Amino acid sequence: MKKESFEAFLSTNEKRIYRYLLSLCGNEQDAQDLVQNVFIAVYQHLERIEDKSALAYTYKIAHNKCMSFLKQKSRYVCLDPSAFSSIPERPAEKEIDYSRLNKAVAELPPRLAAVIQLQYYEKLSYKDISGALGISMKAVESLLVRAKRILRKKMLQGKS
């Protein structure tokens, strides 16, 4: 499409695209904003658009822009700040006692304790753990499974 024919294309199809976007998003203001974004995108890609497929291309851009907008909009909640006054205060959080877990980890064989320490406390990946301990990643995985199984048993025995 040529830049000279863009203005005529815009005036001919602006209302169509607006109605389409309005049907998708249901809000006049949002539809007007999206129409502007759509035609800006069309203008930026004029050299790639053929005259016979320009309308279909515009509809596709409109659809994609609207879907992105709705997806982004769904992540936000618009509430009046006074609505938060009725939310009760959160009770003070209890301090979680990890002493049993720390004791159970300390009772593990050294290799298993090392793998647990590196995975959960140091936040290392399997690859980094294998490099630090000089073992394969499969061995790391196997040691972690065994260590977690032992820890689970110890923690469940203590609850009874």
- Per-residue pLDDT tens, the chain, 160 aa: give them: 888 888 899 899 999 999 999 888 888 999 999 999 999 999 998 888 888 888 999 999 999 999 999 888 877 766 777 777 777 777 777 788 888 888 888 899 988 999 998 998 888 899 999 988 899 999 999 999 999 999 999 889 866 5
Each domain of the chain, given as residue ranges in start order, spans 3-73, 99-159
pTM of the model: 0.48
Q: Give the CATH number of domain 3-73.
A: 1.10.1740.10
Q: Give the CATH number of domain 99-159.
A: 1.10.10.10
Of 64, 58, 60, 66, the C-alpha closest to 1 is 58
Handedness of CA 43, 48, 53, 58 (dihedral sign): negative
